[in-house]
Amino acid sequence: MKALIQRVKQAKVVVDGKTVGEINQGILAFIGVEQSDTTINADKLLKKIMSYRIFSDENGKMNLSLQDIQGGLLLVSQFTLVANTQKGLRPSFSNAGSPDLSKQLYGYMIEQAQNTSLTIQTGVFAADMEVSLVNDGPVTFNLQC
């Protein structure tokens, strides 16, 4: 499982002209599922997202996690994250999880996130989404579990 996380001042997802998910300070996390992924991968990745220290402490050092600042988490499914781009000029999605597996693990991750004290928002699986954000920094990381 892969995630592209961005530290944001605000982020939102719009589907068919309607805002379906929106946060203020926190993390926008794009989630990609591979064929071999399981709920174990989802648990590890979610824990890493919520515990990754990318927010500034009182000394301006990246030393605080999403949990520490009680920020928002916007989870958005994005199968293109698992593309193989090493050869040629067209991405290969041969390692991507099936739509059923991806939907299941994305949904599982959302359920687990909602069991925390954080504000959790989401996109819509397999929808044509418009994602807007104000990246704080900019700060962006690729995570994999």
Which domain CATH number covers 39? 3.50.80.10
Residue 123, domain extent? 2-144
One-letter amino acid of 145: C
Does the reported pTM lie above 0.85? Answer: yes
Across 66-97, b (16+ Cβ under 10 Å) vs e yields bbebebbbbbbbbbebbbeeeeeeeeeeeebb
Q: For the chain, what is the domain count?
A: 1
CA dihedral angle for residue 64, residue 70, residue 71, residue 75, rounded to 10 degrees: 100
100-110 pLDDT, tens digit each: 999 999 999 99
Residues in the chain where the model's pLDDT stays below 50: none
Q: Active-site positions?
A: 78-80
